[in-house]
Amino acid sequence: MAENKQNGLLWAIGGVLIILGVIYFSVTGGSGSTLKVGVIAPLTGDAASYGEAVRRAYDLAVSEINDAGGVAGLPLELVYEDGECDGPAAITAAQKLVNVDGVKFILGGACSGETLAAAEITQEARVLLLSPTATSPAITQAGDLVFRTYPADDMEARLVAQYAIDRNLTRAAIVSENTDFAQGVRNAFKEAHAGTIVFDEVFNKGETDFRARIANMRAANPQMVYVVPQTTASGERILQEMEENGMNVAVFAGNSMLDRSAIVQNPSLYEEVILSEVQVSTEGKAPAMIAAYAQKYGAEPEFRAFTASAYDSVYLLAEALGSVGQDPEAVAGYFSYKVTDWPGAIGVFNFDENGDAEVELMLVQVVGGQIVPLATE
């Protein structure tokens, strides 16, 4: 009888230890010695340039945070999954991060389609999703645990539409890719532009021959063209065929084409193209971030605003985790109520009531292979 009691006591103690171990395992995001954070980004395919930009920014921020002692004594550990800038791939990535790795926080996606798809998984699992570069207006309603550190596309579209109308560019053409990001821009521009949309065509991922579309576009006689691809590669093909077709109109492009390395490699193709960008400050955290990035990777960031936004997202998450602990609901509350005029590399930062970034956008133009602020007077 005494032996049975002793065995029962040992089993009870063992059960408590197992429960405590499971709790500790869950709170630390997996290993017990690190705080795991998931990442969904396009690591392969045409959109891999975005994925590489945010990956480098994430890794830089994590190395700095860990060198300074981590978060509540735990080093951050990023677990990367390839979202491929694709909804189904992002769902698979989110399921793996949530169900296998057990993360409670995910940075991503880098593309709107990734983010919207991943949100279907993270919202149900009550995992917080923080995107640095997804801009589709639909993300505003994706869920109470979905946040982003880059402004929505409707801000860009309204800015472009107003600039065009102010300069009497009333006949507009749009060529856009069939993705959440590009269609968000397209729809917002059509709503905001007070002139006439004389050409509006949507192309599918993987299309490479735009000659017929460009010929039809030219026949519509637009005064301006808004090129909204998902990736720089698709956008460059469109610009090339517009050039070969002899189109000489004002050209605007979505922020997916803000790739400084691509512009430097082919400056004549981008000459006078107008884009929107969050103006990364020359003061505050931005210069130090850019210098540290250049030292670590051998060159300044190609997507400067995207890089700054990704860098900031890691620091924002780390700050929240250090302040309120590792509960996604508490971190969401911190973002909503404690992040006020936050001084980031991307500029002074706030979240609105929907978890969207309140950051100022500006129009820029490519001149001589350089991105310069566009004179709006």
Same domain, 167 and 224: yes
Residue 324 is predicted with a pLDDT of: 98
Q: Which amino acid is at 249?
A: V
What is the count of structural domains for the chain? 2
Residue 19 is predicted with a pLDDT of: 33
Residue among 322, 321, 313, 323 nearest 351 (CA): 313
Residue 280 is predicted with a pLDDT of: 79
Residue 23 is predicted with a pLDDT of: 32
Judge residue 75's burial from the number of C-beta atoms within 10 Å of its C-beta, 0-12 exposed, 13-18 middle, 19 or more buried: middle
| Residue ranges, the chain, pLDDT below 70 | 1-32, 376-377
Per the domain annotation, does 89 fall within a domain? yes
Per the domain annotation, does 123 fall within a domain? yes
Vertex 369: Cα angle to 366 and 371 (nearest 5): 40
Per the domain annotation, does 10 fall within a domain? no
Residue 359 is predicted with a pLDDT of: 84
Same domain, 273 and 174: yes
For 250, the token pair is 């004002």
Same domain, 49 and 136: yes
Q: Residue 229 in contact with residue 181, Cβ under 8 Å? A: no
Task: Provide the domain limits for residue 239.
Answer: 154-279+363-373
Per the domain annotation, does 21 fall within a domain? no
Residue 274 is predicted with a pLDDT of: 96
Angle between helices 112-125 and 180-192 (to 10 degrees): 110
Per the domain annotation, does 124 fall within a domain? yes
Q: Which amino acid is at 328?
A: P
Residue 1 is predicted with a pLDDT of: 40
Same domain, 146 and 289: yes
For residue 209, the tally of other CB atoms under 10 A from its CB is 10
Residue 358 is predicted with a pLDDT of: 87
Same domain, 158 and 273: yes
Residue 376 is predicted with a pLDDT of: 63
Sign of CA dihedral 261, 264, 266, 270: positive
pTM above 0.85, yes or no: no
Per the domain annotation, does 111 fall within a domain? yes
